[in-house]
Homo-oligomer: A and B are copies of this chain.
Amino acid sequence: MTNATTKKRPRKPVRTAKQRRSKETVEVILESATRILSDHGWAALNTNAIAKRAGVSVGSVYEYFPNKHAIIDIILDRHLAQGEALINHGASVISDNPSAEAVVQILVAGFVGIHSDDPKLHRALSSDVPLNGAQQNRVDAVRAKIINLTSAALSTHVKDPKTKATLLVDAADALTHRWLVDEVGVPVSAEVLSNELENMLRLYVLTA
C-alpha cells in the first residue's frame, strides 16, 4: 500500500509471462532452423530436426508455424530486413554527400556488410533453399530498391544511370557474395578483392 508499489503498476503479469514464453519458443525454433540451415543446408532441414535442436516437440513447432515453409518465410524476412536496414543507412549517408565515388563506396561497403553477417546462412538462403514465388518476389523487390536508389544517386553524374546502377549493384552483390560467402577457390584475400572491386567500379562510374 506504499506509494512506491502503487507507482510501479504491475499489470497483467501472468499474460506477459506467457507471452514471453511463447515468444521464446518461437525464437528458439527460428534459431534452431537458422542454425540447421547454415550448418547443414536445406536438405537437412526437416521439422523433426528443427524441433529436436530447439529442444521442443514437433507439436510446438506447428503451434507457432502453420508449416515448414512459414519458418523459412520468417527467416528470410528477417534476413532481408537486415539487408534493407543497410540500404536505408546507405541511402541516408548518400543524401548528405551524393558524389559518385561515395555511391560506389557505400554500395561495396553495404554488400560486404550484408555478406559478412552469417555468411553461411546467406549462402543457404540464396542458393540452397528453394524459394517460392512470393519469397523470390521479396528478394527481387529489395534488389530493385537498391538499384533504384543507386540510379537516383547517379542520375546527376552520368548518362543512362539505370544501366550503370544495375551493373554496379549486381557486381557489388555478386562479387562480394562470391568472395565472402562462397569462399571457394578464391586465390586472393577477400579484403584485397573488395578494394579492387571498389576501384573498378569507381573508375567505371567516373570515366564511362
Contact = CB atoms under 8 A, between A and B. Distances in A.
A208 B199 contact: yes
A204 interface: yes
B175 A196 contact: no
Contacts of A128: 130
A109 B20 CA distance: 57
Interface stretch (A30-38, A64-72, A180-188): A180-188
A179 B170 CA distance: 9
A73 interface: no
A178 interface: yes
A11 B53 CA distance: 27
Contacts of A177: 174
A130 B200 contact: no
20 contacts: A126-B127, A140-B184, A141-B185, A162-B187, A163-B192, A167-B175, A167-B196, A167-B197, A170-B174, A170-B178, A170-B179, A171-B200, A174-B177, A196-B208, A199-B204, A203-B203, A203-B204, A203-B207, A203-B208, A207-B207
